[in-house]
Amino acid sequence: MALRPPSDGLSAVQIREAANAFLAKGVRPDAIRVRDIEITGAERIAGRLFLPPNASLDPVIVFFHGGAFVFGDLETHDALCRRLAIASGVTVASVDYRLAPEHPYPAALEDTAAAVAWVRSTLKPKRVGLAGDSAGAQLAVATALACAAKGSPVQALGLLYPCLDPSRTGASQERFSEGHMLTGAFLDWAWSAYRGEGDRSGDPLFDLTRAELSSLPPTAVLTAGHDPLRDEGLSFVERARAAGVEVSAEHFGDMIHGFVGLPGGSRRGDEALAWLSDALRRSLTVDGSGPSDRPEVG
């Protein structure tokens, strides 16, 4: 599936519906409890809790789905969140934030920040991690920075092939702009849709290439070799390490963008998710082996 911008009579809504239908086909492991929730804040946001066997509510991973800021929802990433919860042994909360172009920046970031605040006030975990894929990874970083700026930092960050550079610089953007899932034309349109009408050039939470990263928690970053976003992910690793952030990085040089969550699954996707799950678990748990001794959720 190659993603392209609206054209030839296809609207943004039609592209969203097609992409969502494709991504929602993933096999959903059933060895887990799932609960739909309503996250209250300035907006009412749908969410979903994924509770693995013997799960507690401390820690919690808050997950932000990918979709270039313009598609994706609870269903497209249900299978991935189930797998993440099972592999990590940690409760996962997925967030159905508002999408562009109907809701440009900062609507999605407002929703992700509100979701973290809700998790903390309602579930009351002592430790919170943020994770996401692609555009969801961008929102995870921006939300972590916003939380730290307010004096309530999160404890871990997990990023799958992050989408971070609205200028689309880097050799990989040129090399892989055609013939793969993401196309250059689609990325240009998606960033424009997320930007909206305002001038975001000086906003480091929109353009994370301008962000000061030293306040980030221990961060795990996974990149793919055949991905237009490869170079911005690798650059982020270098910048975060230079800022003093504890960074774990893993590069899957033979894989394309989105490979961890593609319907049908793959051995390499399972390996990648196991790596990310282990990194998050080690950052979030007392001894790196499992959740705390808070009571199991009924």
Which residues contact residue 247 at a Cβ distance below 8 angstroms, ignoring those fewer than 6 apart? 218, 219, 220, 221, 237, 240, 241
Instruction: Give the pLDDT score at 298.
Output: 42
Rounded percentage of the chain residues whose pLDDT exceeds 70:
92
Structure token digits, residue 86: 């099972």
What confidence tier does 31 reach under pLDDT thresholds 50, 70, 90? confident
Average pLDDT, the chain: 92
* Tokens 């994706």 -> residue: 72
For residue 273, give the H/E element and its range: helix 267-284
State yes or no: pLDDT of 293 exceeds 60.
no
What confidence tier does 291 reach under pLDDT thresholds 50, 70, 90? low
Instruction: Give the pLDDT score at 140.
Output: 99
Instruction: Give the pLDDT score at 154.
Output: 99
Instruction: Give the pLDDT score at 110.
Output: 97
Instruction: Give the pLDDT score at 1.
Output: 55
Provide the whole-model pTM.
Answer: 0.93
Name which CATH class applies to 34-284.
Answer: alpha beta
- Convert the pLDDT of each residue in 169-217 to its tens digit: 888 988 887 766 788 889 999 999 999 998 898 899 999 999 999 999 9
Q: Return the active site residues.
A: 134
What confidence tier does 9 reach under pLDDT thresholds 50, 70, 90? low
What does the DSSP 8-state code read for residue 127?
-
Instruction: Give the pLDDT score at 297.
Output: 46
**Domains of the chain: which residue ranges?**
34-284
Instruction: Give the pLDDT score at 150.
Output: 98
Rounded percentage of the chain residues whose pLDDT exceeds 90:
78
φ and ψ at residue 248, rounded to 5 degrees: -110, 135
For residue 145, give the H/E element and its range: helix 135-149
Range of weakest confidence among 145-149, 276-280, 289-293 = 289-293
- Convert the pLDDT of each residue in 140-175 to its tens digit: 999 999 999 999 999 999 999 999 999 998 889 888
Instruction: Give the pLDDT score at 286.
Output: 61
Alpha helices (runs of H) in the chain, residue ranges in sequence order: 12-23, 78-88, 107-118, 135-149, 171-175, 184-195, 230-242, 267-284
Between CA 77 and CA 75 the distance in angstroms is 5
Instruction: Give the pLDDT score at 295.
Output: 47
Q: Who wins on pLDDT, 237 or 183?
A: 237
